[in-house]
Chain A
Amino acid sequence: MLRRARTALPGFRLSLGVTIFYLAVLVLIPLGACIIKAASLPFDRFWAAVSSDRAQAAYIFTLVSSFVAAIASTLIGSLIAWVLVRYEFPLKRVFDSIVDIPFALPTAVAGLVYSSLYAENGWLGQFLVPLGIKAAYTRLAVVLVLTFIGFPFVVRAIQPVLEDLDKDMEEAAFMLGANRWQIAFRVLLPSLLPAMMTGFALAFARGLGEYGSVVFVSGNMPFKTEIAPVLIVSRLESFEYAEATAIAVVLLSISMSMLVLINLLERWSSRHVG
């Protein structure tokens, strides 16, 4: 039984209750329902649904594009965080808030804008397509839009750590004779690594689940640019609800294991940074 521990903060039971209720209603019950629905399929149909060539291609494409986009987000996001923290320039506040736009913007809007910009007759597409860069209805398009959605997570994960980072540490490295590259790679990067990995994990997880924008930019060609969530929708449209949830369960377990793995990595690296 929970014994009443003496604590300065009131309301432990109430807040724990609310937390559990919240988790249950918003997360656990829907996920559980998804698994139960998928379990209603006999095993051979379940296996057929989740292991079809089209489904496999979709998993791989989802994973690879999210991964590549998360890496791109990490690079771009780290750079943006660095610039926003370390330099003073006019309209810095404005730039800082622009980073939040992808959080607030309905992602379908992003998808529409990207596809019309990069389409053959779009503003950018008319110059890029003749050069052989097709950034609409291709795999590149998916990575591009996932990066757009993912990089703010990285910026917001790194910014506070960078602000807290001791300027002394850089000066110490400088006094010890390190050049700029040595300071960046031996001192700054290792200190920022845990935050970068958190940002990467958030961007990656976001990419795995992204639907709204990808539908518009990818062209949704099976075996080529079809992501797993789109495959789920197309199963739903043909009333194969159980098959749809079966794919959803696979996607769910992939995301879960990715997050666990990344969490372990994060913990390992922060142990070494202290």
Chain B
Amino acid sequence: MSISIEHVSKWFGRFQALADVNFDIGNGELVALLGPSGSGKTTLLRIIAGLESPDEGMILHEGKNVTWESARQRNVGFVFQHYALFRHMTVFENVAFGLRVRRRPSKEIRERVDELISLVRLESMAYRYPWQLSGGQRQRVALARALASEPRVLLLDEPFGALDAKVRHELRRWLRRIHDQTHVTSVFVTHDQDEAFEVSDRVVVMNKGRIEQIGTPREIVEQPANPFVLDFVGNVNVFPASVSLGQAVSKGITFRVPEYPHAEPRDITVYIRSHELRIDRNGIDEHAIAARILRIHPAGSVARVALIHSATGKELIVDLTPAEIHELHLQEGDDVYVSPKRLKVFIPDYEI
């Protein structure tokens, strides 16, 4: 089912949690709401669910205004960060709850619940209580429970936030598979950009109650709309600089900015992603930044190198592959040269 969010605003006292939020979610889409804490993403999810009502604006389901309909009428499944399972019920009864309160015949309930329990691969746990399950198992029960009454929309509030890293990764892929099987329109909230990019079709980046950018994971990574998105979705080195005649100067570090050939100087910020910097033993040109390696820490398929600019003490972060580190024989304490492969500047009132 398609969902439209139109001009939604919400205040908590004087704090504006959402400011005129607009976007559409297509039928069968899996959308991530991504943002730092306090960005309004959970509030927006709760408004879509009907757990909160907006102060302004409306929520449409397939063009029909449901802003004032209860959760029951909307038929929305909701998965909570801390599972919110019923502690006094077995896995089976938890999953059956939504059907029991709708007074479905017991034969139908049994079949549907068995089907869902096998979908989440918890057949052997059906008669256990929640406290006998691990975190990952509990979250799977919560998901089965939310899907039981065949909701037309599935909403997940930081569904993997309380789980440890390995289980989190498993469940992400698994959520994607479940979505591809059921095709239920889904929205999930996360503050973890990897999670948003790995699982979703589209990502809505939020900040301070506003939408900063909407796009596919690839669009957001490759064409961030503004400094906030760029900073939030990747590890970025930030250089406040002054630009004129195609050169930006930031405390003795010079970058080439051919996009700004004018003579009139302007204050700008230069952003360079950590994987868009390179390290060389020798300076490749006069703009290479002389720096000393502080720390090298391996993080799986990339190794993160922290350096310090020798002249100013500014810290730089560069991501290399372990092979590159090996090739260059990089060691902590080495003096090297850093240069940008690619950089991005946002010049106020000036489109590049």
Q: Which 6 A-B pairs have the closest CB atoms?
A: A168-B84, A274-B131, A176-B98, A172-B84, A175-B78, A177-B72
**A166 CB within 8 Å of chain B:** yes
Contact B97 A175 (CB under 8 A): no
1/0 contact trace for A158-199 toward B, CB 8 Å?
A: 000000001011011111111100100011001101000000
Asked, given contacts A191-B88, A272-B129, whether A186 binds B97 with beta carbons under 8 Å apart, the answer is: yes
Q: Which of A168, A175, A182, A193 has the most CB of B within 10 A?
A: A175
Q: How far is the CA of A118 from the CA of B87 in the complex (A)?
A: 45
Interface residues of B (CB under 8 A from A): 49-51, 71-72, 75-78, 80, 82-89, 97-98, 100-102, 129-132, 142, 145-146, 148-149
- A166's contact among B82, B131, B142, by CB below 8 Å, is which? B82
- B82 near A182 with CB under 8 A, answer no
| Chain B residue with the shortest CB-CB distance to A181 | B101
Complex formed: what's the CA distance from A252 to B86 in Å? 39
Assess whether B84 is in contact with A186, with CB atoms less than 8 Å apart: no
9 extra A-B contacts, CB within 8 A, seeds A173-B86, A177-B149, A274-B130:
A168-B84, A169-B87, A171-B51, A172-B80, A177-B71, A190-B88, A190-B89, A193-B88, A273-B87
With A176-B97, A274-B131 in contact, is A166–B84 under 8 Å at CB? yes
Shortest distance in angstroms between B30's beta carbon and chain A's nearest beta carbon?
Answer: 19
Q: For chain A, which range describes its interface: under 10, 10 to 19, 20 to 34, or 35 or more residues?
A: 20 to 34
- Which residues of B lie under 8 Å from residue A166 when comparing CB positions? 82, 84
Once the chains are docked, how many angstroms separate the CA of A178 from the CA of B89? Answer: 15
A177-B84 in contact given A171-B51, A274-B130, A274-B131 (Cβ < 8 Å): no
Beta-carbon contact of B129 and A172 below 8 Å: no
A sample of 12 cross-chain residue pairs with beta-carbon separation below 8 angstroms, ordered by A number, consists of A168-B82, A168-B83, A169-B84, A169-B85, A171-B51, A172-B142, A174-B71, A174-B72, A175-B51, A178-B97, A186-B100, A191-B88
Smallest beta-carbon distance A104→chain B, Å: 35
Please tell me if the beta carbons of A171 and B88 are within 8 angstroms of each other in the complex: no
CB distance from A172 to the nearest CB of B (A): 4
> How far apart are B49's CB and chain A's nearest CB, in angstroms?
6
B82 touches A274 (CB 8 A): no
CB-nearest residue of chain B relative to A178? B101
Closest residue of B by beta carbon distance from A187: B86
User: Who on chain A is nearest to B93 by CB?
Assistant: A186
Residue pair A177, B98 in contact (C-beta under 8 Å) = yes
